Structure 1
């Protein structure tokens, strides 16, 4: 399938349905022997494994902008908010190409779409924290900034069993010293920045998004992209094809640094 066909296919929506089970019981007024052992509840399958927790990477700075330059790997990182159908399309296209991505989610987006946390993890991707409300964290008081980090962390913990693999500050490429300190206090040894900005949030068109990345990317790069923008979805097939031609493998940030 060529890139045009793939882009057309990505416009199609996907849906899912869930069903539950109802257990009922009855009582009997007649005397009876000791009650039998209660039957085991219906199996609901194995519980999902907790999401990976943050880890420390010796030799890496507190704020990571890129990975090793001597390996043919890059990390595509996505700020997680916006239309969930676009998020699903990005995930589907990445998985079609055998790519793994890193998604830094906004907490109030998870409040609206909690199922996407497990969807991201089940696809083999990294899941991290991009603050609770996606406000300008650099200009906040210490109390408010810490709440932005920990509120999102608590939602991730409730949904996945972990505060997520990474923290990225909102509305800034680099963390202030205070924000980096607060992130460490919240349990994130490293702040995740990037060295390639796609500028997809400016909606410049799919060709411009792909071109912005192509001109800057190199071994070890961490690329900033976003859910929620149609240009990003349209650019992704060509971008992944370009990485393949360059023999650059798109991996999670955890894999990039391991």
Structure 2
């Protein structure tokens, strides 16, 4: 009988290595290994049973390793267990004051006998300009109502919490800021619902107010679709200084202060440098007139 010396040498080397860990494997023919005695394995837990290995070298050079499934993977006794990923906690919804009884379904202005006004802001544009506008208001204790565009939140999701953390209020100004009055009811509802979903996910609330896009007032159809999504109130405005046309800061200031009075809802826009530049002077002018800028919910509380 011819002996394959290389196979014998390979087997001898394997057995020598196993002997160092307890010598619990026995040869069963040239290049073949049989399972170690279970009792011996239990007595030496650090020993490897070759029939549970996936290393092809343990098959005696005759193909893939044994089909016997390996033991389930898990931490070794000397390993610290991996902590489970922390559950994502949904944000707590903002706390809003209750509205006064009789607040209309569409609000264009608040009580004319009061001294409060609401500065509402179209939420989109350069986030640096948006942040600068928020900071300018916060430095003077003014709270804004940001009617946010949903597609902007897709690009700048961090702005939702930034707005609320500054004490401001968030509302829904549709998903894509298209002409909602010209849409079918299903299209209009989708525009409102998509923005509402983003507000809910990012802030824990869809917000109280909806404002139609490309229109000062909502049509009956748009009001119906907004109500179906969950908005009982539409927020319009009575002062439109047209800052989206980028007038000078001085001109924008003049337009606002010449038109505003108690209860007014002013429509401004993020993303315009003139609005950032004019806001401090606008707030100073309101203070001189005895008017206080508050959120839309506070205006109607």
**Structure 2 stretches lacking a partner, 5+ long:** 1-73
**Structure 1 stretches lacking a partner, 5+ long:** 1-25
Give the conservation status (yes or no) of the 8 Å contact 2:107–2:234: yes
Partner of 1:28: 76
State the 1:137 CA deviation: 0.4
Asked if 1:191 is matched to 2:234, the reply is: yes
Match of 1:93 among 120, 136, 158: 136
Asked if 1:65 is matched to 2:108, the reply is: yes
Distance between the aligned counterparts of 1:61 and 1:53, measured in 2?
A: 17
User: Residue 143 and residue 54 in structure 1: after superposition, are their counterparts in 2 closer, same or farther (change >3 A)?
Assistant: farther
Distance between the aligned counterparts of 2:264 and 2:186, measured in 1?
A: 33
Match of 1:138 among 159, 181, 198: 181
Distance between the aligned counterparts of 2:240 and 2:116, measured in 1?
A: 17
When the two structures are superposed, what TM-score results if normalisation uses the length of structure 1?
A: 0.82
Partner of 2:39: none
Give the conservation status (yes or no) of the 8 Å contact 2:175–2:195: yes
Asked if 1:215 is matched to 2:263, the reply is: no
Give the conservation status (yes or no) of the 8 Å contact 2:246–2:274: yes
Secondary structure at 1:197's aligned position in 2? Answer: coil
**Aligned CA-pair RMSD:** 2.5
Distance between the aligned counterparts of 2:297 and 2:174, measured in 1?
A: 20
1:104-119, aligned counterparts within 5 Å? 104-119=147-162
State the 1:72 CA deviation: 1.1
- Select the structure of larger CA radius of gyration: 2
Asked if 1:238 is matched to 2:286, the reply is: no
User: Residue 106 and residue 87 in structure 1: after superposition, are their counterparts in 2 closer, same or farther (change >3 A)?
Assistant: same
Partner of 1:168: 211
User: Residue 174 and residue 42 in structure 1: after superposition, are their counterparts in 2 closer, same or farther (change >3 A)?
Assistant: closer
Give the conservation status (yes or no) of the 8 Å contact 2:208–2:233: no
Alpha-carbon displacement from aligned partner over 1:111-142 (angstroms, at most 9, x marks no partner): 00000001101111110100000000010111
**Misfit runs of 4+, over 2 Å:** 38-44, 46-49, 51-58
State the 1:216 CA deviation: 0.7
Give the conservation status (yes or no) of the 8 Å contact 2:91–2:204: no
Distance between the aligned counterparts of 1:237 and 1:223, measured in 2?
A: 15
Give the conservation status (yes or no) of the 8 Å contact 1:51–1:121: yes
Distance between the aligned counterparts of 2:99 and 2:284, measured in 1?
A: 32
Higher relative contact order (CA 8 A, sep 6+): 1
